[in-house]
Amino acid sequence: MISIRGVSKRFGKVAAIDGITTEIADGEFALLLGSNGAGKTTLLRCILGMHRFEGTISVGGHDAAADGRAARALVGYVPQRPALPSDLTCTEVIDLFARLRGRRHGDPAWLARVGLEASAGAPVRALSGGMRQRLALAVALQADPAVLLFDEPAANLDVTARRALHRDLEELAGRGRTVVLATHLAADPLRVATRALVLHRGRAIYDGPASGLGAAVQQRVIFTLNGVGSGDLLPLLARFPGVRVVETPGTITATTPAGDAFGLLAAVAVAGLRPVEVHLEEPSVDPQRLIESGASLDAQPQKEPTP
């Protein structure tokens, strides 16, 4: 459904993405993973024809650069920070974007589907960040596109809404839609995605099954200390295999494979250590671990793209 071959994009002297080649099949739920600045948004914008780029991208057989209009007709897009005309009401926004896709009017049922039926008459400027995200989701979904591109859609959502969103995406993929989700967080999506493409400094370092990322999915546990007991905590954390510990004044950060974080916390509790605060970050892919694990593309023989 989406074919990306040798795609590079430079902003001045900086290569935002560099020689990316991948194929995303019909009905696949693909994750585009990487930290901020890895090139995820740039790649999505190239797929949408918003950026000029080197290489070729096609969506459903339509060239994204030369036949962008036809390619975009197959795509629904939810950007990282959706901005919609602020004076329009939710219903008017749905109508406007439906008309731009050749429909007579929008389907208000989509507002209900994303939980905005009570705000149908409210102007966009009165909506919270999460509500705007959901409105953008309704705009993207109402066209029933074959391909859905999401750029960090969970950024403005609380945990419950995030889970619900990921369930929706899974359901969309189950209905045969091709879903590409760009995110730097890998907790929920990894369980439902079928495929992962990991970007690091603009280059693809992993392209394969989402389940193949293994120990490269890391989670940071940040302990804030009150000055007492740090001496006990450091050796305790160091005993855990695969845990990297960094100490800064007042805090200790332990980076651990995602599934091991709770074991670490349990050991700290059992040892009677009482940090002032413990912050558990959401799991994300650690490019360095991925490269070290040998699962990265750099560690594998490069596949030639099929003509």
- Is there binding between residue 15 and another protein (CB under 8 A)? no
- Based on CB atoms, which residue is closest to another protein, 48 or 190? 48
- Based on CB atoms, which residue is closest to another protein, 58 or 219? 58
- Based on CB atoms, which residue is closest to another protein, 29 or 77? 77
- Based on CB atoms, which residue is closest to another protein, 79 or 257? 79
Phi, psi of 42 (to 5 degrees): -60, -45
CA angle 92, 94, 96 (to 5 degrees): 65
Task: Give yes or no for a contact between 240 and 233, defined as CB atoms under 8 angstroms apart.
Answer: no
Cα distance between residue 296 and residue 204, in whole Å: 9
Contacting another protein (CB under 8 A), which of 30, 48, 64, 258? 48
The contact mask relative to another protein for 61-100 (x = CB under 8 A, - = no) is -------xxx-xx-x-x-x-xxxxxxx--------xx-xx
Q: Is 204 in a helix, a strand, or coil?
A: strand
Burial 185-215 (b: 16+ CB within 10 A, else e): bbbbbbebbbbbbbbbbbbbbbbeebeebeb
- Is there binding between residue 147 and another protein (CB under 8 A)? no
Q: What does the block give as tokens for 214? A: 């293994």
- Is there binding between residue 104 and another protein (CB under 8 A)? yes
Q: How far is the CB of 77 from another protein (least distance, A)?
A: 4
Cα distance between residue 99 and residue 106, in whole Å: 7
- Is there binding between residue 10 and another protein (CB under 8 A)? no
- Is there binding between residue 136 and another protein (CB under 8 A)? yes
Cα distance between residue 223 and residue 230, in whole Å: 9
Q: How far is the CB of 176 from another protein (least distance, A)?
A: 20
- Based on CB atoms, which residue is closest to another protein, 92 or 281? 92
Kindly list the residues in this chain that would bind another protein in the complex (CB under 8 A): 45, 48-52, 68-70, 72-73, 75, 77, 79, 81-87, 96-97, 99-102, 104, 136, 139
